[in-house]
Amino acid sequence: MAGRDRLRELLDAVLDEQHSTLAEMAGGAFASPYHFNRQLSAGTGEPPVAMRRRVMLERAAWQLRQGGSVTDVAFAAGYDSVEGFSRAFARAYGHPPSQPGQGSHWLPAPNGIHFHPPTSLWVHTGEHTMTQPLDLMIHHDLDDTRALLDLAKQLPDEDYRRHLRPGQLVSTWEGEEPSVASVLERTVFTKEVWLAAILGRDLPDDRSDGPADLLERHDVVGPRWLEMVRDVERRGAWDDRIVDALCDPPESFVVGSIVADVLTFAAHRRLTVRSMLRDLGVEIDEGDPITWLRRRTGGTA
pLDDT score, position 125 = 60
Q: Outline where 45-169 has alpha helix (H).
A: 48-65, 70-76, 82-93, 132-152, 157-161
Average pLDDT score over residue span 293-297: 76
pLDDT score, position 144 = 94
User: Given a cut of 60, is residue 128 above it in pLDDT?
Assistant: no
User: Given a cut of 60, is residue 196 above it in pLDDT?
Assistant: yes
pLDDT score, position 247 = 65
Mean pLDDT, the chain, whole residue set: 84
Average pLDDT score over residue span 93-103: 77
Q: Are 121 and 115 in contact (CB under 8 A)?
A: yes
User: Given a cut of 50, is residue 94 above it in pLDDT?
Assistant: yes
Q: Give bridge partners of residue 243 from the DSSP assignment.
A: 252
Closest to 296 measured CA to CA, from 78, 22, 104: 22
Letter for the amino acid at 247?
C
pLDDT digits (tens, 9 = 90+) for 224-248: 888 788 778 877 889 999 887 656 6
Domains detected in the chain: 6-123 (1.10.10.60), 132-296 (1.20.120.450)
Average pLDDT score over residue span 76-80: 88
Q: Outline where the chain has alpha helix (H).
A: 6-15, 22-28, 33-44, 48-65, 70-76, 82-93, 132-152, 157-161, 180-199, 211-235, 255-279, 289-296
